[in-house]
Amino acid sequence: MPREEQLELGLDQAHLPALLMAIVHLEGNASVLDDFPRPLYDFFADGRLGGYNDEQQAKIRERAKRAIENYLVSGETLPPPPSADTVRRMMDFVAGADIPAHYVPFMEEELGLSGADAKHPHWEEPKLIARRKDMHVVVVGAGMSGILSAIRLKQAGIAFDVIEKNADVGGTWFENTYPGCRVDNPNHMYSFSFEPNHDWPYHYSTQDVLLAYFRRTADKYDLRKNIRFETQVTEARFDEKTSKWHVKVKDKSGKEEIIVADAVISAVGQLNQPRIPDIKGVETFKGPAFHSAQWRHDIDLKGKNVGVIGTGASAFQFVPEIAPDVRELKVFQRTPPWLGPTPDYHDKVGEGKKWLLEHVPFYGKWYRFWLFWMLTDGIYEFVKTDPTWNGPQNAVSPNNALLREMLSAAIKPQTDDAPWLFDKIIPDYPFGGKRSLRDNGVWVSALKRPNVELVTDPIAEIDAKGVKTKDGRHIDLDVLIYGTGFHASNFLRTFKVIGRGGVELHERWNGDARAYLGMTVPGFPNFFMIYGPNTNIVVNGSIIFFSECSVRYIMGCLRLLAETGNATLEPREEVHDRFNEKVDEANKMMAWGAPQVTSWYKNAKGRVSQNWPFPLVEYWSATLKPNPQDFELRKTG
């Protein structure tokens, strides 16, 4: 397509607030911020038009066209960059609100206008270069977090091995191959900050696309030669005499080996140990039965009577995919998910938008910034408990109640032709109690199909032929699919970790995993976790953000060892405890911590062990670098 046409298409598909920011860079002044009002965003729309009327839209496109054409004919030269004050104004402008001052450094880093990779470890001082030769790190897992750790270790020049039980990288995105599997965060944000992809085919890409992205990234950084695939870590044991970790690995032939390391980074994820519910008779079903994360592609569902247990994130994605093929589909629901209107959930990214991302300087940066701001801490206040709230238990604050009303009203039209469904699909728990799902109408459409039934009577038992509900009904089934999630609160379930004094980590935790900043535990020197306890999020943000912050901090801990000449570090018990007390107090004040909410975010002890209860900016600032006062540093032992 000729460039003029691509430009026209791009302008037509542009996110106008991001385009206005690109104009500032292209024109070399901020007059556009005075010529147009700040955008206004509709809570449930994609924000693309920024609330501008037709005339304003036309003017913005016209102005952008001129600026982009000038830039292209000038041989792609740019005027001097905007000043720090102007950037600050631009941030407020594109957010459509004044960004609080304490967010500014955080948001500036996310925006990354300089193009530098802000979290690059930069081990360039001679002392670090000398010390890193003596370091060897084992990373457990080659999912997103393991790849990220490997990249940073490599950039720092530290020797490492990654041990991965699967045959390839990707973790979540390698294992979950169920029909319809896709990411729930917009991809222009669910990607490494230092590896943008202007070519995402969908706003929310499918599993194969994500797997390809992580494979490509592993290849680009040439990581495969450091990864041992189809090998599992079964145990990591700290040797106090040598201050080394002895990591026991087992390959697929059963051969065991010990790798000696100075530090261990666990990147084993939270969501990859499929959970089959403890229902009476669960093992007696005679037909094929499988978990969504272990999809049986060899089983043809066409013309079969299929039962799906669970209506969480995975079932929500695969039910609409399989419904047209099966004979009858019974969807067994315990609690419904909240649905957040997302009209573009399955939409492709237009070619014009891709062209802008690729060719117009800073457009992509501001687009990502906008996504980041709107989809992260922007919603935090709506899921916080107001201690003075004395309204119904289905909300935790006036804001939360308002959101309930707005979301219910948005869902209602979908059930106008099936009014019996409405009450079944509106949760009775507050919004934010569990992860909400992205709705473009396909879920309710699937439930309304004549061959689909949403069964809300609780399951009493499973037998050889199907499922019996508590009201005595027996439902015959050919295939049973579990969309029942993961052993999420059983952290690091796949291997034993033995620290100082022979203490095993799971025994210390006793079913209640805790760590300092989700990463370190007293008595487990130089042992670090990514996506560890209390680093999951319910409504605000992507796990990649957390992993990037965690890995920066872990690299900071290794740097601290190298700089001080110490052999080990571990958090002080009181620092760890104080942190966890703060987390627990804060979690109690969030919708997911409310006493009336039960979910996988709470462990068997009823404590929220999964979630970060503060705004993202607080994780970002807490993990910029380790505070030496928080740790016990030792030369030996």
Candidates 39, 176, 497, 607: give the one binding ligand FAD (CB under 6 A): 176
Q: Give whole-number Cα distances, 436 to 336, 383, 427, 579, in Å.
A: 10, 12, 10, 27
> Does 268 contact ligand FAD by CB under 6 A?
yes
| Nearest CB to ligand FAD, comparing residues 168 and 328 | 168
Residues 543-602, interacting with ligand FAD (CB under 6 A): 543, 547
Strand order of the β-sheet with 459-463 is 459-463, 466-469, 474-476
Asked if 148 and 169 touch (Cβ cutoff 8 Å), the reply is: no
Rounded to a whole number of angstroms, the minimum distance from the CB of residue 95 to ligand FAD is: 21
Cα separation of 211 and 231, whole Å?
20
Q: Shortest approach of ligand FAD to residue 553 CB, angstroms?
A: 15
Q: Identify which of residues 32 and 140 has a Cβ nearer to ligand FAD in the complex.
A: 140
Which stretch, 10-18, 268-276, 329-337, 375-383, contacts ligand FAD (CB under 6 A)? 268-276
Q: Rank residues 206 and 272 by Cβ distance to ligand FAD and give the closer one.
A: 272
Q: Which residue in 138, 267, 444, 446 binds ligand FAD (CB under 6 A)?
A: 267
- With 0-12 / 13-18 / 19 or more C-beta atoms within 10 angstroms meaning exposed / middle / buried, residue 281 is middle
620: contact with ligand FAD by CB under 6 A: no
- Residue 460 three-state SS: strand
Is residue 260 a contact partner of residue 244, using CB atoms and an 8 Å limit? yes
Q: Which CB sits closer to ligand FAD, 226 or 399?
A: 226
Instruction: Tell me which of 172, 333, 490, 603 binds ligand FAD, using CB under 6 A.
Output: 172
CA distances from 147 to 119, 170, 182 (A): 15, 8, 20
Least distance between ligand FAD and beta carbon 209 (Å): 13
Nearest approach, Cβ of 294 to ligand FAD (angstroms)? Answer: 12
For ligand FAD, the closer CB: 176 or 397: 176
C-alpha 168/C-alpha 207 separation (Å) is: 14
Using the contact rule CB under 6 A, the part of the chain among 38-46, 80-88, 261-269, 344-352 near ligand FAD is 261-269
Residue with tokens 């979301």, as numbered in its chain = 407
**145 interacts with ligand FAD by CB under 6 A:** yes
User: Ramachandran region of residue 143, left (φ > 0), alpha (ψ -120 to 50) or beta?
Assistant: beta
Instruction: Encode 113-148 in three state secondary structure.
Output: CCCCCCCCCCCCCHHHHHHHCCCEEEEECCCHHHHH
Residues 381-410 that bind ligand FAD (CB under 6 A): none
How many residues are present in the chain?
A: 637
In the block, which residue shows the tokens 């910029």? 624
- Is the distance from CB of 412 to CB of 341 less than 8 angstroms? no
340 binding ligand FAD? (CB under 6 A): no
What does residue 279 show for φ and ψ, rounded to 5 degrees? Answer: -105, 140
Q: Which of 20, 233, 265, 360 binds ligand FAD (CB under 6 A)?
A: 233
Assess 168 for contact with ligand FAD (CB under 6 A): no
In the region spanning residues 533 to 552, those forming contacts with ligand FAD, defined by CB under 6 A, are: 542-543, 547
- In order, the DSSP letters of 417-477 are T-HHHHHHHS-SSPTTSS--EEESSHHHHHHHSTTEEEE-SPEEEEETTEEEETTS-EEE-
Helix (H) or strand (E) holding 289, with range, is strand 289-291
Q: Pairing state of beta strands 459-463 and 466-469?
A: antiparallel
Q: CA 441, CA 316: separation in Å to the nearest integer? A: 11
In the set 10, 49, 132, 185, which binds ligand FAD (CB under 6 A)? 185
Answer yes or no whether residue 337 interacts with ligand FAD by CB under 6 A.
no
| Residue 94 within binding range of ligand FAD, rule CB under 6 A | no
Interface residues for ligand FAD in 464-503 (CB under 6 A)? 494-495
Out of 52, 93, 103, 190, the residue judged to bind ligand FAD by CB under 6 A: 190
Residue number, 166 or 394, with CB nearest to ligand FAD: 166
Closest contact distance (angstroms) between CB of 543 and ligand FAD is 3
Judged by beta carbon, residue 173 or residue 631, the one nearer ligand FAD is 173
**Binding window for ligand FAD (CB under 6 A); candidates: 63-71, 184-192, 278-286, 593-601:** 184-192
Find the shortest distance in angstroms from Cβ 211 to ligand FAD: 10
List the end-to-end C-alpha distance of the chain, in Å, as a whole number: 66
Q: How far apart are CA 57 and CA 61, in angstroms?
A: 6
CB atoms within 10 A of CB 338: 24
Given a contact cutoff of 8 angstroms between Cβ atoms, the answer to whether 170 and 207 are in contact is: no
- 137 near ligand FAD, rule: CB under 6 A: no
Instruction: Verify binding: residue 183, ligand FAD, rule CB under 6 A.
Output: yes
Binding site for ligand FAD (CB under 6 A): 140-146, 163-166, 171-172, 176, 181, 183-185, 190, 232-233, 267-269, 271-272, 313-314, 494-495, 530-531, 542-543, 547
